Amino acid sequence: MKSIMEAYDVRYSYPGTQAEALQGLTMSLPEGKKTAICGHNGSGKSTLFLHAVGIHRPASGRMHWKGAPMSYRADDLKKLRQQVGLVFQDPEQQLILSTPYEDISYGLRNAGVPEHEMIRRIQHILGTMGLEHLANTPIHHLSLGQKKRVALAGVMVLEPELLLLDEPTAYLDRSSEQRLVEELDRIHAQGTTVVMATHDMNLAYAWADWVLVMDKGKCLLEGTPFEVFEQEDLILSLGLEPPLLLQVWSSLPEHVRAESFPPRSMAELKELMKQL
């Protein structure tokens, strides 16, 4: 499996703290996949993302982008950030201008995209994200879910090759979460590598095709969702909740499980239940 970004034995402490936020983190993000990075609060997911866009720099160890060590020169970082887009957990940290239209144009203008191309891309992304009617609404009038979509649009419009989302569904209601996941799947289908940090194991299991589990600034586990989450004891010992669908599946009679695959959705589970 080809990877697009790697961390090798990365150590990092925040200024003024003793404990290391990353404690020798080694991991790789597979190119073209949908990866979920799981881990409870404080396991280092956000710190990893900040390394991925070069906002933080390893105290020791290395980050690689497309097989080469990351360069921290200002012009290289600018280039990197056009290829790697990070959507922060809190949209307030991301949205700086007063309307969605202005905010989404900002990154494009910064990247030196010509005016006519800029207008074309903004119209397209507003449509994709269902934000046309909100384009000129003051951002402080938007709901949190709408702000999250604006923040995502502002990153997506730059057409990154690697899209990183930090807890994108935190504080979203079910229908906003559903819509966000559909948008991510559409983006992924267009060829973008998508990586989401989450502590929602149900979402990670249902959505991802590759899963990393972090704990105490390290990557402890990686694999397909089933490979990772079938290690129930380990998952529990890390303070994580095994996905509900798998919990139900593992309580089904042996003969049903022997002849089926673990369900990835409620609909698949219901099909299995019919065989009981």
Q: Closer CB to Mg ion, residue 194 or residue 214?
A: 214
Characterize 39-64 residue by residue with b for buried, 16 or more Cβ atoms within 10 angstroms of its Cβ, and e for exposed: beeebbbbbbbbbbbbebebeebebe
Smallest separation (angstroms) from ligand ADP to the CB of 177: 19
Among positions 28, 35, 43, 46, the unique one binding Mg ion when judged by CB under 5 A? 46
Which partner from the list Mg ion, ligand ADP, none does 47 bind, CB cut-off 5 to 8 Å by kind?
Answer: ligand ADP
Residue 21 near ligand ADP by CB under 6 A = yes
Per DSSP, the three-state class of 272 is helix
Residue 45 vs 81, nearer CB to ligand ADP: 45
- Is residue 42 near ligand ADP by the rule CB under 6 A? yes
User: Of 157 and 221, which CB lies nearer to ligand ADP in the complex structure?
Assistant: 221
CB of 13 to Mg ion, least distance (A): 16
Total residues at the site for ligand ADP (CB under 6 A)? Answer: 12
Q: Is 209 exposed, middle or buried (0-12, 13-18, 19+ CB in 10 A)?
A: middle
Span 168-207, contacts to Mg ion by CB under 5 A: none
Q: Out of 4, 25, 35, 44, name the contact with ligand ADP by CB under 6 A.
A: 44
User: Does 168 interact with ligand ADP (rule: CB under 6 A)?
Assistant: no
Can you tell me which residue has the tokens 């730059």? 158
Name residues whose C-beta falls within 8 Å of residue 274's C-beta, 6 or more positions apart in sequence. Answer: none
The token duo for 190 is 């267009």
Whole-angstrom CA distances from 98 to 85, 111, 114, 144 are 21, 20, 22, 15
Contact present, 32 and 60 (Cβ < 8 Å): no
Residue type, 195: V
Inter-residue contact 88 to 94 (CB < 8 Å): yes
With CB under 5 A, what is the number of residues at the site for Mg ion? 2
Span interacting with ligand ADP, options 42-50, 146-154, 233-241, 250-258, rule CB under 6 A:
42-50
Residues that bind ligand ADP (CB under 6 A): 14, 17, 19, 21, 39, 41-47
Residues that bind Mg ion (CB under 5 A): 45-46
